[in-house]
Structure 1
């Protein structure tokens, strides 16, 4: 019999895979539940390796949902950003280091540009250390095709990432300066912090006022923050983390109002990602040391 205890050994890993594929806590939990139902109903004699069977089932279920979701997101109002798992105001340093070793929320957003099979092949190779034979069997492609999927994914993702790894302290300092400048609407300070072709992406999901298309250019972004501050629309902000990554957190009436992360080369900010959709923020765990594991 396929017992619950055998399944529970792998639950965290299955959730991590489903979440990274889908960018949604609720959908990832649904996929894991569907995988459990398939597991419970499968003939034990047909399962030689619990983990391999469950990862295969979870990946295929998540891919089906991802393909459907990508079609549905064409009707989404404004840009779509993933749903984070956890925000912390004062994360434990050990937990912050551990989370930093996983796929960051900003990188998860970057992966939205990949097709479903590219995303799955890349994650299985880079995050879960599967070999190409395993990936080919799991996705139903040849090994050569899987190598091409991973290669294309790497190429596309590298184009959107900083060329060099930025020291954590330097990144946090830059984020602090950006938070102060954007809160006050200091146009000159914002422009000085941004690269000339900086990009701002804001996800309000049609629920709240947000920029409906990516905003390009330091001048235009600075003008936006200046206008918000001028009309008194800036919500009090503090530094914290989202899924272990430094972030600007804004709270209103005791609830998480929005979160912002930046992509930088250590000198200037090249991208600003702001999540404002209250439906996505409502599911985020706020605190210290809680929330699903990304191991």
Structure 2
């Protein structure tokens, strides 16, 4: 397969992933185009799996894009006067208060009952409609394994939850989950779930 064929074949998939992560068609198109340009300038002979390479690259580019937007937003907020900042915060919090309470309660159950990998697959599949092929490449697991983990997660969450003791989950996970729900961006959630998985693996080996 030559480069032109690869672009024609993988562009729709990359566009779909980017759109899910950044929530903007224009930004998704720019990110995919930038991903292809960098790939075309790379040493493709060392790339064993072009599809996996491009999906990982576009995912990382989406995360970097959202990080840049977040820094820009923080800079804008820093330039607001104290009274303007308070008004802005009140306006945002007024509309999100009930939603964030519901999300926090739901995440407490998810965090308590599911393993990190189960949680990642369940949330991305159920909330953001990632398909199993995308989940396979994000978490480096076979599609059938992803299906089994999703089914297992749904089974755990359908059990009686009244006996589950609600505790405070990781602030980073909680904040990023709420941001993902509010703004349609799962990028930070993916990053934190992968960090949880690696931490759990390191603890099991030590």
TM over 0.5: no
Compute the TM-score of the two structures, normalised by the length of structure 2.
0.41
TM-score, scaled to structure 1: 0.30
More strand by share: 1
> Structure 1 or 2: larger helix share?
2
Structure 1 or 2, whichever has the larger Rg, is: 1
